[in-house]
Amino acid sequence: MDHQIVISYINKIPLLIALLLVARNYLRFSVELKVISWYVFLSVIVQFSSQYLASQKINNMYLLHIFVPTSFVCLSMFYQKTYASFLNRKIIWWIVSLFVVYSVFNSMYWEDIKTFNSYALSVESVLLIIYSLSLFALLLNEEVRNEKRELLSSLRWINSGILIYYASGLLIFYFGDFLTRFSFEKFQISWLFHSFIYIVQFTCISIGLWKYQKK
């Protein structure tokens, strides 16, 4: 139990560092990084609220049902701003709209609001993996690299963080429903791994934000 508490504190350190960088430099950030700042802000609120609810022994799973569509909107906006003129805006807006509708239906009819919403998380992960791999493919183009010269390093770090978290997390989310059928300890081990990739994600995002600030 102590072990779990320590990890729950450790995984907030990179999140708080990212928040600090956002608070210091938000006005100086480019529009892409401003959108990522919203994602950081949202994650902080959800993390601390869920921590508080857990300490009060109140089920906090419904926060995840809110976090999944909202975080997807933020990250989609980040990719939309990054792809900019290289992708028709409507494509991202269609994906976002369909996902939000799906996510709401999922919480209403398929996965109870008090349970882990593994389906929505899995779909979100698939879409974000597509976004991030596509961004890496886009950044292979020299013209695009020249256009994004100032942001390039930050984009690479942030995109890496998102890819590592959602690609690794996809299996946990996909098997989430299945894992809950095992013993509680095995479920905890999978969430230990989740904490690790969460730390990696926000470390990468913090480095990305810091790289921009350095410039």
Q: Which positions lie near another protein, rule CB under 8 A?
A: 83, 85-88, 91, 122, 126-127, 129-131, 133-134, 137-138, 141, 143-144, 170, 174-175, 178, 181-182
Q: Which is nearer to another protein, 3 or 181 (CB)?
A: 181
**Residue 61 or 126: which CB sits closer to another protein?**
126
Angle in degrees, CA 173, 174, 176, rounded to 5: 55
Least Å from the CB of residue 145 to another protein:
12
Nearer to another protein, 104 or 133 (CB): 133
Question: Based on CB atoms, which residue is closest to another protein, 61 or 95?
Answer: 95
Please state the closest distance from residue 28 (CB atom) to another protein, in A: 28
Q: Shortest approach of another protein to residue 167 CB, angstroms?
A: 9
Among residues 175, 172, 174, 166, which one has the least CA distance to residue 201?
166
What is the Cα–Cα distance from 209 to 150, expressed in whole angstroms?
12
C-alpha distances out from residue 161 to 104, 128, 134, 206, 208, Å: 26, 11, 14, 9, 9
